[in-house]
Amino acid sequence: MLERVAVRADGDVSTAELSGYIRQHANSKWFSLFKVPMSVYCISGTDSTRRFNRFIQRIGEAPVVYDSVLAERGRADMEAAVRNLGYLQGSVSLQEKRKKRRAEVRYQVHTGKRYIVDAIGYRIDDPAVEELVLRDTLESLLYPGMPFDANVLNEERSRLTSLLQNTGYYRFTKSHVRFEADTTLGDQRVALTLCIPLYRATVTDTLRPHQRYAIGTVNYLTDLEPQTFKQQRAQLDSMVVRSLHFYQHRDMPLRPLFLVNKTDLRPGRLFHESDVQSTYSNLSSLSAVMGTSVTLEPSATAPDTLDAYVSVLMGKRHGVSAELEGTNSAGDFGAAVSLGYQNRNLFRRSALLSLKLRGAFEAIKGLEGYTDENYIEYSAEANLNFPEFMLPFLSRRFRRAVNAQSIASLMFDSQDRPEFHRRVLTAAWRYRWNRFDLKRQHRVDLLDLNYVFMPWISETFQREYLSDAGSRNAILRYNYENLFIMKAGYTFQYTSVPPNMQNATYGKNAFSVRASIESAGNLLYGLSHLLDGQHSDRLDAYTLFNIAYAQYVKGDFDFVKSFSFDDRNSLAVHLAVGVAYPYGNSTVLPYEKRYFSGGANSVRGWSVRGLGPGSFTGSDGKVDFIRQTGDMHLDMSAEYRTHLFWKIDGAVFVDAGNIWTLRDYEEQPGGQFRFDTFWKQIAVAYGLGIRLNFGYFILRLDGGMKAVNPAYESGRERYPIIHPRFGRDFQLHFAVGLPY
């Protein structure tokens, strides 16, 4: 049985990368320590006809029996990889150590001295191609003094192929680029020559210059394939818009001019592979389109042109949905139902209209001092998504270079509780766009309006929480006033692995960065001063239509990085920082904009909103949803992730963080951020997690234990990691998706 495989090198090469050439790996270990999957497999019996045995074998892992033939193949592949890195005299030896029925294997890499490129020459037989290549040498990956690395040479072949395919050379491929290396110079120096011969389709053809192609006719086919189109062309309706031909059996489901703006292929323009890819990406992102393809064929009338056939397969225009859910909040049972409608091709521009109606009911009992009322909520939401920039003065080149969305949204929400009635109206206009590699994403909230209206507050709630001087809470009171928020913001996100790859940072060497900033109330505050606007002495704030408006600035930064050890074990680290400052017309942040800590995606030793701010804690240790909020937050986490068996993954994590207020609020003693004390108020938790990983989504269950509790300055309660008490310090969290 194969017990261990290792790679050792005496030179400056990455043993982690060379490990990819190993044909056989030892049995996997949980957290790199315990061979539990193999032990599970060994529990099964030898009778494979029994269903139980097959199930155990499927979720376990069979013992790896050492194969010397596979080991030798891996050695040969590894040696070739070392020489491709420029160590032409490098070698890899295979060392076996056998003891009883166990085998340990070590690949010892001897690199020797690395070869260096001394000079670079060019031999290009086609003068037109030669001119393009030599003109672009500043972008070349090759330079004198570089290591003689075959991987870099292959990247240069790809770069040149892309260069020529984007300047009209439709039939140019990587196979037309080759390198000749003279290693006889001595002292590990190499004379490198880049060669591009003339074009020849087959070995029997004569050599000729590479053909440059232009785009001929561009044909848009709706619900047609090119072959079907040629057979039915006479029966199809057609039109020509800006030199593009449109064919369909019925009225065009999409406006031709809209499709023209989504197309980078133009008759008479030189062939560019990037135009084909951007056209394909533009059309594939449309909600009304189920599938698309772009086919190029040499023209029958002109040998140097390519006719383009853009096939668009339309999806269903209308869709409806319904959802039913049940709730149980502290023993109060409730239910909710929602109905949705989608029109995926509004205005024949693939605009997506989404409408949603929702109603909820909860039977509330046991509230002393209140009339026997239940909780009733209903809401209506409308979203209109245009797959383009609805914004003037943008160049056509920029519009075609990005995948953009313009989004308008409107929502009304009504909540009736025994304590109060609350109405919320929101409206927004925002833009989202990204390059077609999907790694960089931008979002601009041009205008975001929120109006909170409290038409009724019960006398009991008013007396006990808002009016009584002994229990007066500025934060609580502020959140039960009518409030208007007008904000704008910008968000940037970069992901090293495109987000269309599910769970992009899960178990891979990947990272993502997200930064955002938003501001509210500045324009209204300036106009209030300039025009001598209304001012409320009771609220000590300017008002708009007798409603106070919020003024603040808020910034957030989030970073996630994963380190992959092998295909089963990885480490993920996370850092999140956020600061929001109320000023001018506000002394308290709106509740929706405040930070909280604890829960499934924060410091997991605490319940949701159960931590902070600072050393503050709720009365009698209970969660105080209003006062356990802050103006800034810090979250840090490290999580070791491992595959256990079947679709089950495990995790060990350590979390740290807290929230703080920027102002010293009387109702939140110990909550203000101070440079000399904040580090003492960082909470720490640790725990274990189980994940059910289906690839396209993940269900997880995390159990966190408190390690350092900032609510206590000293004593056993401050360091529960030393004096743990399960009932006091443990929290269980169920969630969908990874915590970061």
Q: Which residues of 271-287 are buried (b: 16+ CB within 10 A; e: fewer)?
A: bbbebbebbbbbbebbb
- Residue with tokens 């090119």, as numbered in its chain: 226
Answer yes or no: is pLDDT of 552 > 60: yes
CA distance 261 to 257: 6
Fold (CATH) for 215-314: Ubiquitin-like (UB roll) (3.10.20)
pLDDT band of 471, cuts 50, 70, 90: very low
More confident residue, 544 or 572: 572
- Residue 504 is predicted with a pLDDT of 43
What is the C-alpha R_g of the chain? Answer: 33
Q: Are 434 and 403 in contact (CB under 8 A)?
A: yes
Residue 20 one-letter amino acid: G
Residues in the chain, overall count: 740
Q: Are 407 and 429 in contact (CB under 8 A)?
A: yes
pLDDT band of 45, cuts 50, 70, 90: confident
- Residue 431 is predicted with a pLDDT of 96
- Residue 503 is predicted with a pLDDT of 47
Q: Are 618 and 628 in contact (CB under 8 A)?
A: yes
- Residue 479 is predicted with a pLDDT of 74
Tell me, yes or no, if the two domains 116-196 and 215-314 fold the same way: yes
CA distance 37 to 645: 6
- Residue 13 is predicted with a pLDDT of 87
Answer yes or no: is pLDDT of 470 > 60: no
DSSP lists the bridge partners of residue 333 as 328
- Residue 180 is predicted with a pLDDT of 95
- Residue 409 is predicted with a pLDDT of 97
φ/ψ of residue 5, rounded to 5 = -130, 130
Q: What is the pLDDT of residues 488-519, one digit of tens each?
A: 999 999 998 765 554 444 456 789 999 999 99
- Residue 381 is predicted with a pLDDT of 97
Q: Mean pLDDT over residues 393-420, rounded?
A: 88
Here the tokens at position 245 are 């031909």
Q: What percent of the chain has pLDDT over 90?
A: 55
CA distance 615 to 670: 5
- Tell me the domain boundaries of the chain: 2-110, 116-196, 215-314, 594-740
Here the tokens at position 159 are 């770069």
Q: Mean pLDDT over residues 74-93, rounded?
A: 93
Q: Mean pLDDT over residues 640-648, rounded?
A: 85
Here the tokens at position 126 are 């086609």
Q: What percent of the chain has pLDDT over 70?
A: 94
- Residue 54 is predicted with a pLDDT of 75
Q: Mean pLDDT over residues 5-21, rounded?
A: 86
Q: What is the pLDDT of residues 127-154, one digit of tens each?
A: 999 999 999 999 999 999 999 999 999 9
- Residue 234 is predicted with a pLDDT of 85
DSSP 597: B
Q: What is the pLDDT of residues 179-194, one digit of tens each?
A: 999 998 889 999 999 9
Fold (CATH) for 2-110: Ubiquitin-like (UB roll) (3.10.20)
Q: What is the pLDDT of residues 384-405, one digit of tens each?
A: 999 999 988 888 778 777 889 9
- Residue 231 is predicted with a pLDDT of 86
Q: What is the pLDDT of residues 334-372, one digit of tens each?
A: 899 999 999 999 999 999 999 999 999 988 776 676 776
Answer yes or no: is pLDDT of 39 > 80: no
DSSP reduced 3-state for 491: strand
DSSP reduced 3-state for 617: coil
Q: What is the pLDDT of residues 665-692, one digit of tens each?
A: 888 888 999 998 899 999 999 999 999 9
Answer yes or no: is pLDDT of 415 > 60: yes
Q: Are 658 and 683 in contact (CB under 8 A)?
A: yes
Q: Mean pLDDT over residues 54-76, rounded?
A: 83
Q: What is the pLDDT of residues 563-573, one digit of tens each?
A: 888 778 889 99
Answer yes or no: is pLDDT of 738 > 70: yes
More confident residue, 248 or 537: 248
Our CA angle for 592, 734, 613, nearest 5°, is 40
Answer yes or no: is pLDDT of 623 > 90: no
Q: What is the pLDDT of residues 206-250, one digit of tens each?
A: 999 999 999 999 999 999 888 888 888 888 888 999 999 999 887
- Residue 696 is predicted with a pLDDT of 75
Short-list 606, 574, 629, CA closest to 720: 606
pLDDT band of 474, cuts 50, 70, 90: low
More confident residue, 58 or 698: 698
Answer yes or no: is pLDDT of 322 > 80: yes
CA distance 651 to 639: 6
- Residue 714 is predicted with a pLDDT of 81
The whole-chain average pLDDT of the chain stands at 88
Kind and range of the H or E run holding 686? strand 683-693
DSSP reduced 3-state for 550: coil
CATH number of 594-740, picked from 3.20.20.70, 2.40.50.100, 2.40.30.170, 2.40.160.50: 2.40.160.50
> Does the domain formed by 116-196 have CATH 3.10.20.310?
yes
Q: Which residues of 713-728 are buried (b: 16+ CB within 10 A; e: fewer)?
A: eeeeebbbbeeeeeee
- Residue 34 is predicted with a pLDDT of 72
Say how many C-beta atoms besides its own lie within 10 A of residue 101's C-beta.
Answer: 9
